[in-house]
Structure 1
Amino acid sequence: MVRSYLTNEGFKVDPVFTGKEAINRFISNSYDLVLLDLMLPEINGMDFLQTLRQNSFVPVIITSAKDGEADKALGLGFGADDYITKPFSMIELLARVKAAIRRSTQYKESTQPEVPAILTIHEIEMDIHNFIVKKNGQEMSLTSKEWNILKLFFENPKKVMTKEQIYHSVWDDHYYGDDHVINVHISRLREKIEDDPTKPEYVKTVWGIGYKLGEFK
């Protein structure tokens, strides 16, 4: 049903039915978006997502009957960009697919030559053109959302970013006051870039407002 609907809307859809098949297909083909069911045979959706995120920033939308906060947080923490709970309408799915692809396209367009090739703050270096992040020379693996959040702070080093500004800039969508998604991604980003995530130096919390990049001498 999903394949038929999206095909009628002009998308080319390549369905696979096991996690192992999905990994093999992704290695040999290029895709603009992944719709991921968590309950896959052979290799489950979470394991596939972790494998995918080792080498790709492609947008991932999880479609799952699991609607608990822990499941959503886990999926987003592992690198998904969005999470839609079954049953869902085809109209809502289409809107989310278009939004995810639009954000990904704008993300790629934002890395044109006029943007500095290398952004460096203290021990972290971001290679904008090649999507590489290093800390003390060691490459780190970030999801597309984590990359965009960190890039936003690096491009605005002295500015306090409200959660509304972060959500609008990174998710390209209206912010309705639900900060759970932002908090999950900030937490996961800190786990990767901070020496001590409980005492963050790079992404500082400004209580009651949002976040800012830490200041280094």
Structure 2
Amino acid sequence: MDKENILVVEDDVDINNLIKLTLEKCDYKITQAFSGSEAALRIDMDTFNMILLDLMLPGVSGEQLIQNIRDKVDAPIMVISAKSALEDKVNLLNSGADDYITKPFQCEELIARVNSHLRRNRKVQMQVNDKEYKSYRFKDLTLEEESREVMLKERNISLTSHEFEILRILIKNPDKVYSREFLYEEVWKNGYYGEDNSVNVHISNIRKKIKEVVADEEYIKTVWGIGFKMNKN
């Protein structure tokens, strides 16, 4: 079995090396990056099971990096930062991070958190591998679970990972109204804090991509005060 690959993004060489040595003892493969720009390149070049990153990075900040990669990468993202304010933690979790640990940290806690996230990911992957994939159709829109393709009037619609998951939930039960809280918790796997705008932004992006193919038809309906559903009208 191949070792799980973890990307460590930290510009402090000593801290980066400490994390590397600590996690290598747990039999993980560690890839190091010392700037946000280098991390972005490595993410495009390789596949990672988890990403650990600092916020104060040269080139591209940790906050920017999370926003840039969240729709490309489903792997857990854990922030390791000296910022300890609750507002900072909430904002980062809302923007796409999965966990947050403050500096200075204990190596034992770091290992426990990494193990927990990767153990959960293994279970999810096993469920994905075991499940039967289906094809869903709504009007002229078709969604294929296995290939993760979305077609509209025989044209491919390129969706990000989160956009695909939102549309998959909606199209599976087109008569059901889904709240923003439910969609957020299902897609981002985080607790909902009540002020996150991610669902609205992703719904808007899906609508724009659909309108590029069929400009005169609304596929996703907003049910004011509740959430979203597929539009049968």
When the two structures are superposed, what TM-score results if normalisation uses the length of structure 2?
A: 0.61
The whole-number CA distance in structure 1 between the counterparts of 2:115 and 2:169 is 23
- Indicate whether 1:41 and 2:58 are aligned: yes
Letter of the structure 1 residue corresponding to residue 168 of structure 2 = K
Which amino acid is 2:158 matched to? M
Aligned to 2:133: 115
Matched, 1:72 2:91: yes
2:203 aligned with 1:190: yes
- 1:178 and 2:193 equivalent? yes
Letter in 1 for 2:124: Q
**CA RMSD, 1 decimal:** 4.2
In structure 2, C-alpha distance between the alignment counterparts of 1:92 and 1:204, rounded to whole Å = 41
User: Any unmatched runs of 5+ in structure 2?
Assistant: 1-17, 210-217
Instruction: Work out which of the two has the higher radius of gyration on C-alpha atoms and give 1 or 2.
Output: 2
SS class of match (1:130)? coil
Q: Which moved more, 1:91-100 or 1:124-133?
A: 91-100
**1:1-217, aligned counterparts within 5 Å?**
1-46=18-63, 48-49=65-66, 52=69, 56-63=72-79, 64=81, 65=83, 68=87, 72=91, 76=95, 80-82=96-98, 84=100, 86-87=102-103, 91=109, 94-95=112-113, 98-99=116-117, 102-103=120-121, 106=124, 109-110=127-128, 114-116=132-134, 118-122=135-139, 124-133=141-150, 137-142=155-160, 144-161=161-178, 165-166=182-183, 169-171=186-188, 175=191, 178-180=193-195, 183-195=196-208, 202=220, 204-205=222-223, 207=225, 210-217=226-233
Amino acid at match of 1:147: F
Shift in CA distance, 40/135, structure 1 to aligned 2, threshold 3 Å: farther
Kindly tell me: are residues 211 and 84 of structure 1, through their superposed partners in 2, closer, same or farther at Cα, counting changes over 3 Å?
A: same
Taking every aligned residue pair, what percent have the same amino acid on both sides? 18
Tell me which amino acid in the other structure corresponds to 1:140: S
Distance 1:149 1:140 in 2: 14
**Any stretches of 5+ residues in structure 1 without a counterpart?**
none
Displacement of 1:73: 6.2
TM-score norm. by structure 1 comes to: 0.64
Q: CA deviation at 1:33?
A: 1.7
CA distance in 2: counterparts of 1:12 and 1:101, whole angstroms: 15
